[in-house]
Structure formats: C-alpha cells, structure tokens
Structure 1
Amino acid sequence: MTEVRVSLRDRKRAATIDEIKTVAISQLSADAGQMTLRGVAREVGMTVQSLYHYFPSRDDLITALIADAHNALADAIEAAGQAHPDLVGVASAYRGWAVEHRARFLLIFGTPVPGYAAPPGGPTTDAARRLGVAFTGAVFHGWSPADLAAIRPPAVDPALDDALTAAAALVLPGMPPAAFGWGLDLWGRVHGLVLLELLGHLPWLGDQAAANFHHAALRAAADLARLRP
C-alpha cells in the first residue's frame, strides 16, 4: 500500500478551516443565526480578505457547516448500526450525537439561518440524502426485499403512494413506498423527541429525558417488529 503523506501546508490549511468552522458554529449558536465573515475572521485572527481564500462567501461557509453536520450525524448512525443493528441502538446514537453537538444539530434542523438558501442539488442535498440512507438502512438492517415488500400501508392512497415512491427513488431506490413511509414515521418519532428535548420543551421530565427516550425507542422498535413477516 502506498503511503500518502500530507504536506505541512495542507495540514495547516485543514487546521485553519476547522478553526473557522468552529468559530462560525459558535457565532451562529450564540447570536440567533447571525454570522458574518468579518466577525469570524476577527475571532480567528485573520483579515476577511484572507478568509475569502477558504470560503468565498458567508453562504459557502454555512453550506460547508450544514453538509459537515449531516455527514457527522450519518457517521454516528452508521457506526451504531454496525455495533447495534436495531432501532433502539440507532435511535440512541441519534439522540447522543444531537445532545453532544446541539449547535450543529439545530443548524440543520432548527430555525433556518436568515438570508441563507442551500444551493439546489449541492453538497447539503447529498449530505442530507446520505443521512436518510444511513438511518433507514440501519433501521431495516437484515430485512430482505421480500420483508420490505410485505409491508402494507394502513389505507389505500394512490397519491401518497406516488409521492413515497418518488421520494424513495431519490433516497433509497428500489425501496417499496410503504416501507419508506414507515422509515419516515420512525425517523419522525425519534427526531421529534430529540428536538423537543433540545429546545427545552420537556422540563417536567427533569433528568429522565434519556430514560423516556429509551422507552419510546423500545415502543417504536416493537411496532417495527410487528411489521416483519
């Protein structure tokens, strides 16, 4: 195997990019989505002209942050799916990453950054799709195509079936629409509780938010198991 050596210049550039991203996330979190390249450059200790060599615009920096967050969460889910290939393990990893990286999680799922629009079909789209693939793939780990095809929707709805078929074609080509719909349902159940917790809407649970989440994941896993032939 050929050893790949990274030059000192490339290592310094990578370290600078990481510092820029860390400062930008901190500013977005602290100031309700307000972040400027000038403010980031000042905190990093460089001129804004120098920062342009790394990120030509504020939107380029935000795009990189959003793509990074999606990919990091997908990494956590994939690792959990390999170690604990079941919904409970995947859900726990989802919540764990969100709690540990609250600012990054809310960047992709919280209030949109004012004035920012993700580039159509750009890196944020690819990263979001990868996250969907990671979650759905981990949830249905071990299911055969016949198992997935056996899932039936609760009611006949041709318009919804068409929409789910089109959505599945973008994220997981070949997945039956009813199975894809269940994947969305399970993600919503996991994600909804996490978001309520992070935004402070579950104060009455005290220090039992994690335990409540675990039991909710067990209930969702039981519902999923009943679908399998």
Structure 2
Amino acid sequence: MSEAPARRGSLRERKRAATIEEIKSVAIDQLAADSGQMTLRGVAREVGLTVQSLYNYFPSREDLITALVADAHNALADAVQTAAREQRELPASERLVRVALAYRRWAVEHRARFLLIYGTPVPGYRAPEEGPTTEAARRLGATLVEVVFGDWSAAELGGVRRPGEDDRPIPALVTAAELLSPGMPPAALGLGLDLWGRIHGPVMLEILGHLPWLGQDAEANYRDAMIRAAADIRRVREHGV
C-alpha cells in the first residue's frame, strides 16, 4: 500500500507563507503606485490584518522593503542562471545574447520589482550594511560574471587590459573582483561591468518609457544591440583590449 505524499510544512506554516507572499505583493504594488510611499498600516489594511498582526511577519517597514529588494535581486539572478543553464551548449556569444534577452524579459514582466532595485531609492529606506540585500545583489553580480567569463581560461582573463595608456588596476575593481569572483583580474571585471551597462542601459530606457517609438520592435532592437556587445566581448577575448 503506497503512502500519501508528505505535505510541505504544516497547515499553519503554509498559511504563514501564503500571508507573507500576500503582504509582499501588496507592498510592491503600493510602492509602484505611490512613488515609494508604502506604509505598514496601508499594507495591513489591504491584506486584512491589523498593524499589530502584521508586525508578526515584518517588524518594521524597513524589514519588509529589505525582503522585497532581496527577493527581486534573487529572482533576477534565478532568471539569468536558468537562461544560462538552458543555453549552455550554445557558443559563448550566442549564449550571452540569450541571457541578456532573459534579463530584459524579466525586467519587462516584473517592472515594479526591477525598478525597486534599480530605480529611484525608496524614500526613507536605508538597506542594512552587509545584510540580505547586499548578499542578493552580489549573487546577481556573481551570476553575470559566471555567464560572461565562466569558460574563459586564466590566460584569456589575464590578457584583458584597460584601454589607453594607463593599465594600472583600479582599486575599486580589485575589491569588487575579490567579492564576486576571487582571483579574477580587475581589468576583466571592468570589462564585465561595461558589458552589464550595455545589457542594463537599454532595458532601463525601455522600462522608464523613453523608447515608446520602438513599439513591438523593442526586443528585436535589443537583440541587435546584444549581438554587437557579444561580438565586442569576443574580440577582447581574442586580442586582450
């Protein structure tokens, strides 16, 4: 006689998890609708809780926003990782284009969450130092570094040079490289940062409504831009600059 499959957590635990997700959903909607003016009282009222009851889930407004920011970073990292894993058999340049398209797709489908992490800071909110938001942001950064440089040899990474005459390491990039990918040459991380700007910039322009004239051609135009970016990365990989 087969046993019934075990339930995931007790009924109380599942109800609590569902309530937390509802609180987060309402909070992100309020942040998006009112220029960051979200209050626990307003969230509690919409969810159907008293403010005192909501404190059992999130002790403060800052705790709730911190959870939302960390969730958004992690969800975007998940989307990027999934795309990279699904396209791992493709040539590096094509895989990069597919991953960039996944980045854009997540942003378009989750506009409020994307702007929460990359738009205007929420008024009155200060992320905790070295807290979950920092950890989640680093995870996203490390994910993008792995997508771009995961199959590069040590010689290829070491061959990346800063353009121009000054080839001294930039101190901030030395620190960032150790945090995201210990042992990565800072010049290579600078190249990755440049690429992220090319992936991210057009998405921000689109999300903020600056490219409405592209209409249904927005994705095709973005794909073309990413093909050019991938070709530039390939050229640096082959020649070092």
Offset at 1:12?
Answer: 0.7
The answer to whether the 8 Å contact 1:77/1:90 transfers is: yes
Q: 1:4 and 1:158, CA in 2 relative to 1: closer, same or farther beyond 3 A?
A: farther
Does residue 188 (structure 1) correspond to residue 197 (structure 2)? The answer is: yes
Does residue 34 (structure 1) correspond to residue 37 (structure 2)? The answer is: yes
Offset at 1:6?
Answer: 1.1
CA distance in 1, matches of 2:144, 2:199: 11
Identity of aligned residues (%): 67
Query: TM-score when scaled to structure 2?
Result: 0.91
Q: Give aligned pairs, total.
A: 227
- The 5 A counterparts of 1:68-147 are 68-85=71-88, 86-147=95-156
Residue aligning to 2:69: 66
The answer to whether the 8 Å contact 2:161/2:167 transfers is: no
Q: Which runs of 5+ in 2 are unaligned?
A: 1-5, 89-94
Residue aligning to 1:174: 183
CA distance in 2, matches of 1:72, 1:31: 23
SS at match of 2:236: coil
Residue aligning to 2:19: 16
Q: Which runs of 5+ in 1 are unaligned?
A: none
The answer to whether the 8 Å contact 1:90/1:135 transfers is: no
The answer to whether the 8 Å contact 1:20/1:44 transfers is: yes
Offset at 1:204?
Answer: 2.4
Offset at 1:155?
Answer: 2.6
Aligned match of 1:210 in 219, 230, 237? 219
Please identify, of 3-12 and 34-43, the stretch whose mean Cα deviation from structure 2 is larger: 3-12
The answer to whether the 8 Å contact 2:169/2:187 transfers is: no
Please identify, of 216-225 and 79-88, the stretch whose mean Cα deviation from structure 2 is larger: 79-88
Q: 1:174 and 1:37, CA in 2 relative to 1: closer, same or farther beyond 3 A?
A: same
Q: Deviation per CA, 1:74-114: give whole Å up to 9, x if none.
A: 00001111112421011011001000000000000001000
Offset at 1:206?
Answer: 2.3
Query: TM-score when scaled to structure 1?
Result: 0.95
SS at match of 1:54: coil
The answer to whether the 8 Å contact 2:83/2:98 transfers is: yes
* Aligned Cα root-mean-square deviation (Å): 1.4
Please identify, of 79-88 and 53-62, the stretch whose mean Cα deviation from structure 2 is larger: 79-88
Q: Which amino acid aligns with 1:87?
A: L
Offset at 1:159?
Answer: 6.2
Please identify, of 215-224 and 137-146, the stretch whose mean Cα deviation from structure 2 is larger: 137-146
CA distance in 2, matches of 1:141, 1:89: 15
Does residue 221 (structure 1) correspond to residue 230 (structure 2)? The answer is: yes
